[in-house]
Structure 1
Amino acid sequence: MAKTTIFTRRLLTSFVFSFMLFSAKAFAVFPEVVKEVTPSVVAIGLYTPLEANGNQVLGTGFVVADGKHVITNYHVVSKILDPTIVQYFVVISGEGRDVKTYKAEVLGIDPVHDLAVLKFEGKLKPVNLAEGALLPPGTDVAFTGFPIGAAIGLYPATHKGMISAITPDAIPAQNADQLTVSMLKRLKQPELVYQLDATAYPGNSGSPVYDVKTGHAVGVINKVFVSQGKESALSAPSGISYAIPIIHALSLLKQHGL
């Protein structure tokens, strides 16, 4: 009986020690994953020298494929450039005031899935893209981007959460009066997107959503649920965000031989 008790204690001690090691390892892995992904996350800006000395940051993007292309949201680069003045999109890489700016052009768009691919005059480390079916609800994910633009310099911020649902791509309306014809059409033939239990902000548009264990991009942040008007997106965020599954970005890249 005594031998059995000693054996049980040793087994329990071994289990607890192994669990502690696993927990410590898991805790240490995520900062390394963020460190690995962050250099591939860039700001997407608009350069208009006649109107401003610097770049107007429009959103976030991430480097893919051969390191010369960037995925972002279509709505980030949907502005029609003024042909009468010098004006072009830029990809901005770096941190704080120590940044590099690369001239960029829109190579392809997918308005249905709110995606765009840009080609820029430079080369940076690309993000690994996940492949396969949609991840199930409950999966832990993170995203890195520029939630408040570059008002005080370019500082990438990482937010962690989980996939809370896979839902049709239509923002919930508070009442029937807010349902537009466009929303109703999307609900009849819905495109499925990730709903995230994580707080994103307007500047996060185009941020890569990635697996917290591997750093592989599984989606692209494209909107947040706003319950109290546009202004509340910053002052009182809902904590509900949406992301386009990465499969649509892979399809867009394939269309352009990437």
Structure 2
Amino acid sequence: MLKILYSALLFLGLFSFSVKADLVQVISDIKPAIVAIGIHNPLAAPRIRLVGTGFAVADGRKIVTNYHVVSALLNTERNESYVVLSGNGSDIKMHSVLSTKTDSTHDLAVLSIGEKLPTVNLANNKLIAEGSSIALIGYPITAVLGLYPATHTGIISALTPIAIPADNSNSLNSRALRQLQQPFLLYQLDATAYPGNSGSPLVDIKTGKVIGVVNKVFVKSTREAVLSDPSNISYAIPIHFLHTLLK
């Protein structure tokens, strides 16, 4: 009996070590492709306001993020424009966005820039199983932490329809109405995400491939509570919708 118990504990220890070792490699592989999305205003101070996370795919000139990250109307009189920021810490490079391709229904956007960046590997269209270990990497509280990508881990806790009722009718914009009429499955995560994580890659720790795009956080009470009292419930768009947008 003791021998069986010892063998079981040894297996669990080796499994835990393997997951941690995989995660270390995943972070090392993914981080160079992580970028920040910002709004550049040459007349403001500071000139760049960070609004979300993104990651490079394909030839390195395509940047994936959420539609809602780049959907705000810009002040053209003040020459506002969306920009992509690559690098880390104080070693930052700004890239102009040359064009934008969007899928508002699935909250996805692909930005084109002129310079190649390191890229991630995308998984195929198959949904991964509930219980799978995942990581999300991005800028959780962009304006506060700056360009230092942070990693949060968890599991796929459910595959759930996006058609979650709004608090009231005033919250139902045209995109929300389309989603209610044509619901699709999202990954529900037990990993902690914050507003700046919008557009972060969702990574399968086992394969190191991106399986989704983080797009929202469940808010328990107020927006301020997202920072002080996070719900630990986040959602991500499955990668097959991105494959369609990239075609």
Instruction: State the TM-score, normalizing by the size of structure 1.
Output: 0.85
Kindly indicate whether the alpha-carbon contact (under 8 Å) linking 2:192 and 2:230 is maintained by their aligned counterparts in 1.
yes
Kindly indicate whether the alpha-carbon contact (under 8 Å) linking 1:102 and 1:121 is maintained by their aligned counterparts in 2.
yes
Structure 1 position 205 matched with structure 2 position 186: no
Q: Which amino acid aligns with 2:43?
A: L
Q: How does 1:42-81 map to 2 (within 5 A)?
A: 42-81=35-74
Q: 1:175 to 1:250 in 2, by over 3 A?
A: same
1:59, CA displacement in angstroms? 0.2
Kindly indicate whether the alpha-carbon contact (under 8 Å) linking 1:88 and 1:105 is maintained by their aligned counterparts in 2.
no
Q: 1:16 to 1:197 in 2, by over 3 A?
A: closer
Q: 1:194 to 1:13 in 2, by over 3 A?
A: closer
1:90, CA displacement in angstroms? 1.0
1:23, CA displacement in angstroms? 4.4
Q: Which amino acid aligns with 2:129?
A: P
SS in 2 for 1:121: coil
Kindly indicate whether the alpha-carbon contact (under 8 Å) linking 1:38 and 1:144 is maintained by their aligned counterparts in 2.
yes
Kindly indicate whether the alpha-carbon contact (under 8 Å) linking 1:148 and 1:201 is maintained by their aligned counterparts in 2.
yes
Q: Which residue matches 2:126?
A: 133
Q: Which residue matches 1:101?
A: 94
In the comparison of the two structures, how many residue pairs are matched? 247
Whose Rg is larger? Answer: 1
Deviations, residues 94-124 of structure 1 (Å, cap 9, x unaligned): 2211111111134201000011000112211
State which drifts further: 178-187 or 154-163: 178-187
Q: 1:104 to 1:162 in 2, by over 3 A?
A: same
State which drifts further: 198-207 or 170-179: 170-179
Structure 1 position 90 matched with structure 2 position 88: no
Q: Which residue matches 2:152?
A: 159
SS in 1 for 2:199: coil
1:19, CA displacement in angstroms? 6.6
1:173, CA displacement in angstroms? 5.6
Distance in 2 of aligned mates of 1:86 and 1:182: 27
1:85, CA displacement in angstroms? 3.0
Deviations, residues 50-75 of structure 1 (Å, cap 9, x unaligned): 12343110100000000011000001
Match of 1:110 among 89, 103, 112: 103
Distance in 1 of aligned mates of 2:58 and 2:65: 13
Q: 1:205 to 1:65 in 2, by over 3 A?
A: same
Kindly indicate whether the alpha-carbon contact (under 8 Å) linking 2:139 and 2:146 is maintained by their aligned counterparts in 1.
no
Q: 1:12 to 1:80 in 2, by over 3 A?
A: closer
Kindly indicate whether the alpha-carbon contact (under 8 Å) linking 2:140 and 2:196 is maintained by their aligned counterparts in 1.
yes
Kindly indicate whether the alpha-carbon contact (under 8 Å) linking 2:57 and 2:121 is maintained by their aligned counterparts in 1.
yes
Structure 1 position 30 matched with structure 2 position 33: no
**Aligned alpha-carbon RMSD (Å):** 2.7
1:242, CA displacement in angstroms? 0.6
- Runs of 4+ displaced beyond 6 Å: 9-19, 174-182
Q: Which amino acid aligns with 1:207?
A: S
Instruction: State the TM-score, normalizing by the size of structure 2.
Output: 0.88
Q: 1:56 to 1:18 in 2, by over 3 A?
A: same
Q: Which runs of 5+ in 2 are unaligned?
A: none
Structure 1 position 145 matched with structure 2 position 142: no
1:236, CA displacement in angstroms? 1.0
Q: Which residue matches 1:5?
A: none
Match of 1:242 among 230, 235, 242: 235
State which drifts further: 135-144 or 83-92: 83-92
